[in-house]
């Protein structure tokens, strides 16, 4: 069938919720809704991705970051083929305990994601929070497509709700949610104390029972498992809680926890937060604005089974009618609008319908090969050859800052004057990437010019979040240390940098030596006093800090700060 339209979705083919809700299940649903289409979910590491993604009538990239894919999007546009890009998390502000927190704290990763948003023909997000966050990052249309169930839920289990005996109140979440559940720990303690029939059930990482510290005999814990096991856990609950602290990350979540809880005949208790607002409005469910309101509402539902049953049924009916993927057509209609008038002439070797293809595992990408070749030429001091290769790389990957930096290094050796002009252009092209002004400062011919670039760098740090500062700390401090050691006029700028990194011992030491050399002993003494006190504290606390992760400490910090915010009048 030569007229079959082909949609290729590049996705991690696993059983985790994000993969299922955003790519795998929607792919199956679209193939069911439009049987004449060929819908391929292709594994993100398949060697076939370069050819297949180019030839697809519509390409859907889920959280893309690969440089070769960005280059491929431009080639597709030249061929008149559309590319849809999807992001489903606030990667600028990840939860501190999330496994993705370190990777997502990179401004270079943010820069890459933003490049895909700018290049895409349309952008898809999961809810209004992400829409508000990202709408200025893309020039194309931005669409909200909610998470939906893959199939109609099981019938409403009235018998379980009417049974006497224990009442099961529960929560499920990853480490990224740990601060949310810790924020209501005191309420859970009081509820368990006052209601002997109440049992708290939790599913997630193995550390959760210890963190909550609830009476073991009143708690049931289940370790993370498959999606079926997770939904089975929710089916065992009478009440499911989904607290959300007022954090930038939580504001950009989806409402899928509410949908999942309701689909299993349990009653969801939901925070008055942006992700849940539409669900709350559609079901008439009372929202929770504080731990006190959470406790009051939980007590009412524990004591009044009929009220709990009525509201659980209302939520179940909404989910059954409105949140089942195959009954929703917004994704299908969006895909249809983005398809070309005629299909590409390519032999897919697959019939119409839904397909999951793992393909052959690719070892290296064209980008990785070109980058490695360029670095080898630089190491070998083959400047002219490197410059030619760099020019080709820049032409192929104009939006990649790593290639751009390598190209400038080549120009510094082969065409120094051109390198300075190119750097100025690249600073504008990659305006949030401090590596370019740092290189400008390093190449500056006079102290005055170096100072000018450093003042610009310090200005760029103003108003940035702590993740941005932390990412560039090693580069900035290292560069400043070299300048301090050879240029006495940089003391003032080093002091300005210290305001952003007040706990940098090395920077303080070099400043102390700088002030002593300039006979400013009082200022030097302040830094040496700090260094002595810090060294003593560090030795005393090293073992303690090594025993804990930063994410763990920051999660408690976030949870307790959230309690205070929620308790304010």
Q: What is the pLDDT of residues 143-187, one digit of tens each?
A: 999 999 999 999 997 556 556 589 999 999 988 889 999 999 999
Average pLDDT of span 50-57: 97
Cross-sheet strand order for the sheet of 82-86: 141-144, 122-125, 82-86, 58-62, 6-11, 38-43, 353-357
Residue 176 is predicted with a pLDDT of 82
Q: What share of the chain is helix, strand, coil (3-state, %, to 5)?
A: 60, 10, 30
Is a pLDDT exceeding 80 seen at residue 383? yes
pLDDT given at position 1 = 46
Provide the pLDDT for residue 555: 82
Question: How much is the pLDDT for 542?
Answer: 80
CA dihedral sign, ordered 540, 541, 543, 544 = positive
> What 3-state DSSP class applies to 167?
strand
In CATH, the number for domain 366-566 is: 1.25.40
Match domain 6-145 to its CATH number in 3.40.605.10, 3.20.20.140, 3.40.50.2000, 3.40.47.10: 3.40.50.2000
> Please, which pLDDT band fits residue 404 given cuts at 50, 70 and 90?
very high
Please state the φ and ψ torsions of residue 7, each to the nearest 5 degrees.
Answer: -110, 125
229: helix, strand or coil: helix
pLDDT band at 387, cuts 50/70/90? Answer: confident
Kind plus residue range of the DSSP H or E element containing 123: strand 122-125
| Residue pLDDT, tens place only, 470-495 | 999 999 999 999 988 877 678 999 99
Q: What is the mean pLDDT of residues 512-517?
A: 90
Q: Is 322 helix (H, G, I), strand (E, B) or coil?
A: helix
Is residue 58 pLDDT above 70, yes or no? yes
Q: pTM for the complete prediction?
A: 0.91
**Is 113 within 8 Å of 104 (Cβ atoms)?**
no
Band of residue 566 on the pLDDT scale cut at 50, 70, 90:
low
Handedness of CA 371, 372, 378, 384 (dihedral sign): negative
pLDDT band at 2 (very low <50, low <70, confident <90, very high): low
CA dihedral over 326, 329, 334, 336, signed as positive or negative? positive
- Asked whether 412 and 87 are in contact (CB, 8 A), the reply is no
Contacts of residues 231-236 at CB distance under 8 Å and 24 or more positions apart, as own/partner, are 231/260, 231/263, 231/264, 233/170, 233/172, 233/201, 233/203, 234/170, 234/172, 234/260, 234/261, 234/263, 234/264, 234/266, 235/154, 235/157, 235/264, 235/265, 235/266, 236/168, 236/170, 236/201
pLDDT 10s digits, 85-110: 999 999 999 988 888 888 999 999 99
- Answer for the pair 69, 430: CB distance below 8 angstroms, yes or no: no
pLDDT at position 242:
95
Res. 69: pLDDT tops 80:
yes
Residue 351 pLDDT exceeds 50: yes
Angle, CA 393 vertex, CA 389 and CA 397 arms, to 5°: 175
> What would the two tokens of residue 322 be?
């409105």
> Fold for domain 158-322?
Rossmann fold (3.40.50)
Which pLDDT belongs to residue 564? 60
Nearest to 493 by CA among 452, 439, 442: 452
Q: What is the distance between the alpha carbons of residues 355 and 8, in angstroms, rounded to a whole number?
A: 10
Reported as a single tens digit per residue, the pLDDT across 236-271 is 999 999 999 999 999 999 999 999 999 999 999 999
Beta bridge partners of 85: 61, 123
Angle separating helix axes 401-414 and 366-379, nearest 10 degrees: 30
Q: What is the mean pLDDT of residues 23-32?
A: 96
For CATH 3.40.50.2000, list the domain ranges present in the chain.
6-145, 158-322
């Amino acid at each position: 069938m030569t007229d079959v339209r082909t949609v290729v979705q590049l996705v991690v083919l696993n059983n985790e919720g994000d993969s299922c809700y955003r790519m795998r299940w929607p792919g199956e649903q679209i193939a069911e809704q439009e049987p004449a289409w060929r819908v391929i979910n292709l594994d993100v590491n398949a060697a076939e991705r370069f050819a297949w993604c180019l030839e697809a009538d519509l390409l859907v990239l889920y959280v893309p970051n690969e440089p070769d894919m960005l280059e491929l999007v431009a080639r597709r546009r030249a061929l008149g083929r559309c590319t849809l890009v999807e992001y489903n998390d606030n990667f600028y502000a990840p939860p501190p305990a999330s496994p993705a927190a370190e990777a997502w704290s990179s401004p270079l990763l943010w820069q890459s994601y933003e490049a895909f948003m700018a290049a895409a023909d349309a952008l898809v997000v999961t809810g209004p929070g992400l829409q508000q966050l990202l709408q200025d990052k893309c020039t194309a249309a931005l669409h909200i497509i909610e998470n939906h169930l893959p199939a109609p839920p099981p019938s409403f289990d009235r018998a379980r709700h009417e049974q006497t005996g224990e009442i099961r109140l529960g929560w499920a979440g990853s480490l990224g949610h740990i601060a949310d559940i810790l924020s209501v720990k005191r309420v859970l303690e009081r509820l368990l104390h006052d209601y002997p029939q109440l049992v708290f059930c939790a599913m997630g990482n193995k550390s959760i029972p210890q963190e909550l510290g609830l009476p073991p005999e009143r708690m049931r814990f289940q370790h993370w498992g498959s999606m079926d096991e997770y939904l089975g856990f929710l089916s065992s609950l009478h009440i499911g809680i989904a607290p959300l602290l007022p954090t930038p990350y939580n504001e950009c979540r989806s409402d899928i926890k509410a949908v999942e809880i309701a689909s299993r005949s349990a009653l969801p208790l939901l925070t008055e937060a942006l992700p849940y607002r539409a669900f709350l409005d559609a079901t008439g469910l009372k929202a929770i604005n504080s731990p006190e309101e959470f406790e009051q509402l939980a007590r009412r539902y524990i004591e009044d089974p009929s009220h709990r049953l009525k509201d659980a049924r209302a939520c179940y009916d909404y989910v059954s009618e409105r949140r089942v993927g195959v009954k929703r057509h917004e994704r299908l209609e969006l895909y249809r609008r983005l398809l070309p008038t005629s299909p590409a002439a390519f032999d897919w070797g697959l019939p119409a319908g839904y397909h999951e293809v793992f393909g052959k595992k690719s070892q290296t990408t064209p980008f990785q090969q070109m980058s490695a070749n360029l670095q080898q030429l630089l190491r070998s001091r083959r400047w002219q050859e490197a410059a030619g290769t760099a020019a080709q790389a820049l032409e192929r990957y104009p939006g990649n800052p790593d290639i751009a930096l390598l190209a400038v290094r080549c120009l510094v050796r082969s065409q120094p004057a051109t390198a300075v002009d190119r750097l100025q252009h690249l600073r504008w092209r990659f305006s949030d990437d401090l590596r370019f002004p740092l290189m400008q400062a390093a190449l500056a011919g006079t102290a005055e010019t170096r100072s000018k670039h450093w003042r610009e760098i310090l200005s760029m740090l103003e108003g940035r979040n702590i993740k941005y500062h932390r990412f560039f700390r090693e580069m900035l401090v290292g560069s400043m240390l070299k300048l301090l050691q050879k240029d006495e006029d940089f003391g003032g700028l080093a002091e300005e940098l210290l305001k952003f990194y007040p706990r940098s011992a090395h920077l303080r030491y070099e400043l102390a030596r700088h002030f002593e050399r300039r006979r400013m002993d009082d200022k030097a003494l302040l830094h040496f006093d700090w260094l002595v006190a810090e060294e003593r504290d560090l030795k005393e606390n090293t073992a303690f800090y090594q025993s804990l992760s930063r994410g763990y400490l920051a999660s408690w910090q976030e949870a307790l700060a959230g309690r205070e915010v929620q308790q304010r009048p």
